[in-house]
A and B are shown apart, each in its own frame.
Chain A
Amino acid sequence: DIQMTQSPSSVSASVGDRVTITCRASQGISSWLAWYQQKPGKAPKLLIYAASSLQSGVPSRFSGSGSGTDFTLTITSLQPEDFATYYCQQTTSFPRTFGQGTKLEIK
């Protein structure tokens, strides 16, 4: 199975800050990576697919990059509604696996 490791596990930031979350795959996955946002008590929401493609309706302050084993999710100019938990997921092989999550908290 492909292991996905996110860092950091949690991060504190302020409105207007830029935040970067990293996801590392245990083996190369090309660009087969998705990012999701989850708020408490809600279902996950797709933000990014194919490592860097922005899902329709997602604000452009979200961006993804990387290929192979190392990926990043960047949020520029944090908004109050961005404080949530973020997960990466590899979509190249079964079982699909998620990172453990990164909780973005208000400083």
Chain B
Amino acid sequence: ETGVTQTPRHLVMGMTNKKSLKCEQHLGHNAMYWYKQSAKKPLELMFVYNFKEQTENNSVPSRFSPECPNSSHLFLHLHTLQPEDSALYLCASSQDRGKLNGYTFGSGTRLTVV
């Protein structure tokens, strides 16, 4: 375990379903991130939260809705997804934007949209 815990590890959902991904860290970090990792594509930064405030949204479709109730928890709410949204979703956290120690990643949630 890296200190960043993601649940569930695997998720299969239909296109009409609503589900949520959860990320939790108790490293005392103040920034949290959602990344999407698809096959043969670079890591795509989706959202950035710093001290619970969203500081970046990289043109992510509205069917992905992040929530950060406190500095330790981050959610990604999913609804009416498309098959091309199937990917590994990675959560990461960092202290002070991660300049010195980089980001600490969770193990990811493998999402399959059917």
| A is bound by B | no
